[in-house]
Amino acid sequence: MEYNYVVVGAGMAGATAARALAEAGKKVLVIEKNDHIAGHCHDYKNTDGITVHTYGPHIFHTNDKDAWEWANRFTNFIYYQHRVLSYAHGRYIPFPINRDTIAELFGTELSINEVQQFLQDEIEHSSFELPLANFRDAVVSQVGETLYQTFFENYTRKQWGRDPEELSADLAKRIPVRNNRDDRYFSDVYQGIPAAGYTGMISNMLDHPEITVQLQSDYLKVRSTMSPEMTVYTGEIDRFFDYCFGKLEYRSLRLEFRTYEQKQYQRAAVVNYPNDYDWTRITEFKQLSGEISDRTTLCFEYPSAEGEPYYIVPDDRNSAMRDEYMEKAAELEAAGTHLFIGRLAEYTYYNMDQVITATLQKINKLL
């Protein structure tokens, strides 16, 4: 069968692209190297009836109504507001930083009107470079050295395997800091967990007569046999170009799943461990889904330099290399033969809603 488009990858970017193309009347072949769809969003129900996220926890959150409505076409959402605790100094402290975090850590009671001044005093008694030179400077400039050392310094070393001063200041843009008592990790208008699971959501997205899905197929090993009108690529960009500028660096995770004979293990769905133990966080999946079981399943995350590519590493070397690869990608996009979309193909950190938005923008512009 002839296909107008080949989409490489059946994750959020690939599935969104495939669906948008199919609804425009294009015949689409989706090629996925794994034996499952949904990419890093993949989940499944275990024997205890608990939905487990195969590659670690995913929470859908967005302020983009269009992205929310797109996702809701393919699943209903369970109402869920994500809350996180951080284990520090032998205590479970609300995180991200808010009024209650400061009260717990410093033993001082503040009104919400006093929080900003308290943080400003902390910042003024701290040292950092201007303009902001790195991740450490960016965080300290927002919260001061004590909060940085408590919650960020060692966590960053574990997560990224390097000193915070070696990482880009841009990484700190994802850190929320609040003056009030809002202890939600995300403040987005729309938040939730897919009732059908992420795998169910992606399956519904790919369920279209113009879409064919081919699993356990490595596109880069068979691309010479294909001649579609266009290829939408969502895999690693450096691998696509045969590492001609060198290998981009990713951080990975070793995930350890444990099931315990108890109804609840911890006080929040996710608990961070910035200073203690080798893992960075523990997720209790039942608290994400609201599922009921006499047992509970946990995910312990151990950062790793090797393995499945989870996170880009935003330092000067990788950023410069990424720019070179993106120039080559732009040439193919200008020629009308390829589109490069998603975290791996653009070497950019996207949330799930951002993946949907960026993908639809590219596909709509193409169509």
Average pLDDT, stretch 44-63?
98
Does this model's pTM top 0.85?
yes
pLDDT tens profile 301-328:
999 999 999 999 988 899 999 999 999 9
Question: Where in the chain is CATH 3.40.50.720?
Answer: 5-80+190-248+314-366
Q: Are 49 and 297 in contact (CB under 8 A)?
A: no
Domain 5-80+190-248+314-366, CATH: 3.40.50.720
Pairing of strands 270-272, 84-88: parallel
- Provide the edge-to-edge strand list for the sheet that holds 338-340: 211-214, 28-31, 5-8, 230-233, 338-340
Query: Dihedral (C-alpha) 246, 252, 254, 259: value to the nearest 10 degrees?
Result: -150
pLDDT tens profile 124-133:
999 999 999 9
Structure-model confidence comparison of residues 170 and 56, the more confident one: 56
